[in-house]
Amino acid sequence: MRRLELSQLKPGMRLAKDVILPDGRLLLLAGFIVKPLYLRKLEAFNVDYVYVEDGEYEPFEEFEEEKLYNHAAATIKNIFTLARRDRDVDIISVMDTVNDILNKVMQNETVMLQLTGIRDIDNYTFLHSVDVCIYSIIIGKKLGYGREPLMTLGMGAILHDIGKCKVPIEILQKPDRLTDDEFHTMKLHTVYGYEIIKNSYQLSTKTANIAFQHHEKWDGSGYPMGISDNEIDPLSRIVALADVYDALTSDRVYKKRELPHVAAEYIKNNAGVLFDPYIVDLFVNSIAVYTEGTLVLLSTGEVGSVVSSGSVGGARQKISVFSNKSGPPVLQPYIVDLNERTDVEIVEVFM
Q: What is the pLDDT of residues 199-257, one digit of tens each?
A: 888 899 999 999 999 999 999 999 999 999 999 999 999 999 999 999 998 876 556 77
C-beta neighbour count of 152 within 10 angstroms: 21
For CATH 3.90.105.10, list the domain ranges present in the chain: 2-52
| pLDDT per position as a tens digit, 88-142 | 778 999 999 999 999 999 998 887 887 787 666 667 788 899 999 999 999 999 9
Q: Which residues of 45-70 are buried (b: 16+ CB within 10 A; e: fewer)?
A: bebeebebeeeeeeeeebeebbebbb
CATH class belonging to 2-52: alpha beta
From the options 2.60.40.3500, 1.20.1250.20, 1.10.3210.10, 1.10.260.40, give the CATH code of 64-286: 1.10.3210.10
Amino acid at 344: V
Give the residue range(s) of CATH 1.10.3210.10 domains in the chain: 64-286
Q: What pTM value is reported for the model?
A: 0.83
Q: Judge contact between 9 and 39, C-beta under 8 A.
A: yes
